[in-house]
Amino acid sequence: MMPDLGKYADTVLSAYGASVVLIVLLVLVSLRRAAVVRRRLDAAEARRAALRASVPTGQQAGPGAGVEATAPASPAPSTPQRG
């Protein structure tokens, strides 16, 4: 079922072998990285849930907590003013 590769058989088969090894390594590294990221995300979500649970009802927690809302600055003119 394998085609006759002649004198290039060793080169072609070693290239196929190297490709398979690299693809397997890439998949393993990706799975490992996904597991690390999942653990970090779960930890961050647990910290956020604990923070929200420790804040009394009616108070805001998180970035921007306690910052008063202000009106935005007036927008810059769309055309330059000539004098």
Alpha helices in the chain (DSSP H): 9-54
Look at residue 2 in the predicted model and tell me its pLDDT.
73
Joined tokens for residue 36? 């690390």
Distance CA 13, CA 3 (A): 11
- Per-residue pLDDT band for 40 (boundaries 50, 70, 90) equals very high
- Per-residue pLDDT band for 53 (boundaries 50, 70, 90) equals confident
Q: Reply yes or no on whether the pLDDT at 83 is more than 60.
A: no
Q: Reply yes or no on whether the pLDDT at 8 is more than 70.
A: yes
